[in-house]
Amino acid sequence: MKIISINAGSSSLKFSLFDMDTESVIASGLFERIGIEGSCYTIKCRGEKVEQEVELVDHSDAVRILLEKLIDLNIIESLDEIDGVGHRLVHGKDKYSSSVVITDEVIEDLDKFKEFAPLHNPANILGISAFREALPGVTMVGVFDTAFHQTMDETSYLYPVPYSWYEKYGVRKYGFHGTSHRYISDTTAKLVDKENLRLISCHIGNGGSISAVLDGKCVDTSMGLTPLAGIMMGTRSGDIDPSIITYVMEKEGKNASEVIDDLNKRSGLLGLSEYSHDMRDVLARADEGDENCILARDKYVRSIVNYIGQYHLLLGGVDVIVFTAGVGENSTPIRKLVCEKLLPLGVKIDLEKNNIRGEITKISTEDSKVQVYVIPTDEELMIARDTLLKLEAR
């Protein structure tokens, strides 16, 4: 059984082709700069990489060339081998609490909900339309970033604002990275045999969110109505006093969207360090003694620790903390700095075991009260798994 996982952005399309009998990746790649000059693609297969500049006017071009190349490169013999296509979809509001077979109604909903994800939902529709055109008749499944968080109760998802904003406009916490947190929850449950497992899943990459998960169900998560809320990120501020927005609007003569843009694109590590949004750069300069980078690093660690402390209380204790995504999987120093601050919870890590990148590893010591793991996330596999489940149910 072969399934393609698709992540369509406004000018990009990422894919992974899985053999679901072994859950292995047969080929993966990226089509970039769609609709922009200098468009190109990269396809990786059998340890080799094919890169080529090619005109990609729109997503349909990218999908057409992708399918042609899968055959040209002998990755598949015919398009009939593709049993299903899974799409990463960003915002399903409170209508979608699990993955769905994509129908016209799902596409209409993506369009309806686009004001909550103005860049992502329209791009998701482009990806779906391109595959519908290229592979008519092949089942397509939508896997929403927001779905995993639908188990939150209203004390978690409501904001203390006029209730009518929720009723009239859907102002509430939706949460994101749900497919990643669900993957982490499923993988942890296989590694740690415990009933009613209390998990804090830290997805910390360029974007970042932390979820409190009880027995596989999300109880709370740090992102909100949009991905701007929660922990400090590469370029996003995370939680701030909302009055800052009107204050800066007046001071800088900006409108609200411009200030929100500053909070999304020029804040976080980049804003405080005044140097880079990339943790590797910030850590390197911090090691050289750069004060802004030290501040950015320490504030980043603080914001993660604050959420872990909060979720520890919410869950009534914690059995496992998992680090995942770019920073969580790769950064030995950030994990060390966070875990040092978790000593009051009885967290102890083994510094040698912590010296790893991108491998499933238990980094806590045997006498640690909380087990700490590094688990590389795999949203693409999760999307392929959900697609397979839907195909099997048909």
For ligand AMP, give the closer residue by CB, 279 or 374.
279
Residue 145 annotated as catalytic: yes
Ramachandran bin of 143, using left for φ above 0, alpha for ψ from -120 to 50, beta for the remaining angles: beta
Question: Is 280 among the residues that bind ligand AMP (CB under 6 A)?
Answer: yes
| Contact status, residue 203 vs residue 175, Cβ threshold 8 Å | no
Question: Is 28 among the residues that bind ligand AMP (CB under 6 A)?
Answer: no
Choosing from 114, 326, 345, 373, the residue that interacts with ligand AMP (CB under 6 A) is 326
The CA distance from 184 to 10, in Å, is: 27
* H helix or E strand, kind and range, residue 8: strand 2-8
Question: Is 358 among the residues that bind ligand AMP (CB under 6 A)?
Answer: no
Question: Is 273 among the residues that bind ligand AMP (CB under 6 A)?
Answer: no
The CA distance from 122 to 277, in Å, is: 26
Q: Which residue is nearest to ligand AMP (CB)?
A: 326
For ligand AMP, give the closer residue by CB, 174 or 300.
300
Interface segment toward ligand AMP; rule CB under 6 A; list 60-68, 162-170, 272-280, 298-306: 272-280
> Strands (DSSP E) along 91-138, which ranges?
100-101
Choosing from 128, 200, 325, 372, the residue that interacts with ligand AMP (CB under 6 A) is 325
Question: Is 264 among the residues that bind ligand AMP (CB under 6 A)?
Answer: no
Choosing from 7, 12, 209, 331, the residue that interacts with ligand AMP (CB under 6 A) is 331
The CA distance from 344 to 369, in Å, is: 10
* Catalytic, out of 61, 109, 145, 220: 145
Q: Give the distance from CA 313 to its chain's centroid.
A: 25
Choosing from 205, 224, 227, 268, the residue that interacts with ligand AMP (CB under 6 A) is 205
Q: Give the distance from CA 222 to its chain's centroid.
A: 12
Footprint (CB under 6 A) of ligand AMP, residues 221-250: 234
Interior/surface letters 18-50, b for 16+ CB within 10 angstroms, e for the rest: bebeeeebbbbbbbbebeeeebebebebeeeee
Choosing from 330, 354, 361, 387, the residue that interacts with ligand AMP (CB under 6 A) is 330
The CA distance from 147 to 99, in Å, is: 7
Question: Is 12 among the residues that bind ligand AMP (CB under 6 A)?
Answer: no
Question: Is 278 among the residues that bind ligand AMP (CB under 6 A)?
Answer: yes
For ligand AMP, give the closer residue by CB, 140 or 296.
296
Tell me, by CB under 6 A, how many residues bind ligand AMP. 12
Q: How far is the CA of 207 from the CAs of 175, 176, 177, 291, 382, in angstroms?
A: 12, 10, 9, 23, 19
The catalytic residues are 145
- Binding residues (CB under 6 A) for ligand AMP: these are 205-207, 234, 278-280, 325-327, 330-331
